C-alpha cells in the first residue's frame, strides 16, 4: 500500500524524505563500488522488473489484487543496497508517472517499501547463510514474508505517528497489519515460486546468494 498525499503531517513526511534520501545515498555508493560499470543498468532493469511485477496480477476481490512487492526477492538475489536503490526509482516513477502514492509522501513510501523491507530481508539472508542446510527457496520465502511485514509495520507506524489522533494508533496498526497477513504470506509463496523457476532454468544466477541450492525434485515453480 502506498501512502497518498495529505495523510501524514509535514514534519514526519519531510523527516522520512531526509532519512530516505540519506539511505539511497549510502546504498547508491555501495552499489557503485560493488557493481562498477553495471551500477546504473542492473538497478534500472530490476526497478523496471519491480514496476512490471507490481501491476496487479491475481484479483482477490474488493479492489485489491495480489501482486509482487519484490523488495524481498531483489534483496535475496542481489543484496539490500541494490534493492533500496531500485525501490527509490520505483516509488519516484509510481508517484510522478503512475499517480500511485503521494508525491509529498515519497520519503514515507521509500522507507516503508524500500529501506525497512530490504533491511528485514537482509537480516533473514544473513541468518540463512549461517544455516547451511536451509535452501535458497526457503530463505527467499521467509525473507519476502518478513520484508512485507516490515513494510506494513512501517506504513502503520508512519500513519500512527504522523497521521491523525482521531483514532488510537493501535487501531491503525491492527487494520493495516490484519490486511497484510495474507499479503505477506502470498508474497512469500510467490517469491519462493519465482526463485524455484530461476533455480531450474538459470541456477548460476543464485550463486551470488551464497545459499544452498534448491532440490530440483521440488514441485514449486514447475
Binding residues for other proteins restricted to 51-80, rule: CB under 8 A: 51-53, 55-58, 62-64, 66, 68, 73, 77
Give the nearer residue to other proteins in terms of CB position, either 98 or 181.
Answer: 98
Q: What residues from 150 to 209 belong to the interface with other proteins (CB under 8 A)?
A: 164, 166-168, 171-172, 175-176, 179, 189-190, 193-198, 201-202, 205
State whether the Cα torsion 141-147-148-153 is positive or negative: positive
Q: What residues from 88 to 147 belong to the interface with other proteins (CB under 8 A)?
A: 88-90, 92-93, 95-100, 102-104
Q: What residues from 15 to 54 belong to the interface with other proteins (CB under 8 A)?
A: 24, 28, 32, 37-49, 51-53
In angstroms, rounded to a whole number, what is the distance separating the alpha carbons of residues 94 and 114?
Answer: 13
Give the nearer residue to other proteins in terms of CB position, either 127 or 187.
Answer: 187
* Total number of residues that touch other proteins (CB under 8 A): 74
What ranges make up the beta strands (E) of 42-126?
58-61, 64-66
Give the nearer residue to other proteins in terms of CB position, either 10 or 132.
Answer: 10
In a 10 Å sphere around its CB, with 0-12 CB exposed, 13-18 middle and 19+ buried, how is residue 169 labelled?
A: middle
Which H/E stretch holds residue 63? Answer: none
Among 61, 55, 87, 212, smallest CA distance to 154 is for 87
Amino acid at each position: 500500500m502506498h501512502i497518498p498525499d495529505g495523510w501524514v503531517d509535514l514534519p514526519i513526511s519531510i523527516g522520512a524524505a531526509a532519512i530516505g534520501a540519506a539511505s539511497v545515498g549510502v546504498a547508491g555508493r555501495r552499489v557503485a563500488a560493488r557493481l562498477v560499470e553495471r551500477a546504473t543498468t542492473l538497478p534500472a532493469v530490476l526497478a523496471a522488473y519491480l514496476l512490471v511485477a507490481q501491476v496487479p496480477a491475481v484479483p482477490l476481490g474488493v479492489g485489491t489484487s495480489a501482486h509482487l512487492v519484490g523488495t524481498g526477492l531483489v534483496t535475496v538475489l542481489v543484496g539490500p543496497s541494490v534493492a533500496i536503490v531500485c525501490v527509490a526509482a520505483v516509488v519516484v516513477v509510481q508517484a510522478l508517472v503512475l499517480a500511485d502514492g503521494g508525491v509529498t509522501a515519497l520519503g514515507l513510501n521509500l522507507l516503508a517499501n524500500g529501506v525497512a523491507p530490504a533491511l528485514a530481508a537482509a537480516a533473514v539472508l544473513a541468518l540463512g547463510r549461517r544455516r547451511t542446510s536451509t535452501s535458497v527457496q526457503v530463505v527467499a520465502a521467509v525473507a519476502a514474508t518478513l520484508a512485507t511485514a516490515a513494510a506494513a509495520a512501517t506504513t502503520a507506524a508512519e500513519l500512527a505517528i504522523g497521521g491523525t489522533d482521531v483514532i488510537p494508533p493501535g487501531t491503525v496498526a491492527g487494520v493495516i497489519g490484519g490486511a497484510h497477513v495474507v499479503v505477506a504470506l502470498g508474497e512469500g509463496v510467490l517469491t519462493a515460486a519465482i526463485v524455484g523457476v530461476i533455480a531450474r532454468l538459470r541456477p548460476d544466477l543464485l550463486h551470488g546468494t551464497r545459499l544452498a541450492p534448491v532440490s530440483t525434485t521440488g514441485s514449486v515453480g514447475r
